[in-house]
Amino acid sequence: MTKKDLVAAIAEKASLTKKDAEAAVNAFVETVQSELKAGGTVQLTGFGTFEVRSRSARKGLNPRTKEPVNIPATKAPAFKAGKVFKDAIAK
């Protein structure tokens, strides 16, 4: 499903115009991004939690030259599905 498909599905289910549904999807994405960037989490009960996870620095190996490479520490967005969401998918 693409963003266009998601907007169309939301518009149909919520009886909104596609323009309003797209504005809602964009607002949701921007809000989640800004909250995670600020170091917070977004928890949607029954759906899941968006959070930032830290990855520590580590040593890797360049597959082409087999030379060791230092990989710096970084932060990455993560999503943990909630129990209700997992159960709905498992059925």
If one counts every other C-beta atom within 10 angstroms of the C-beta of residue 7, the result is 20
Q: Which two tokens stand for residue 15?
A: 């009886």
pLDDT in tens, 56-89: 999 999 999 999 999 999 999 999 999 999 999 9
Q: Give dist(CA 81, CA 49) in Å, integer.
A: 7
Amino acid at 31: T
pTM for the model stands at 0.80
85 φ/ψ sector (left φ>0, alpha ψ -120 to 50, else beta)? alpha
Return mean pLDDT, the chain.
96
Distance of CA 80 to the CA centre of its chain: 9
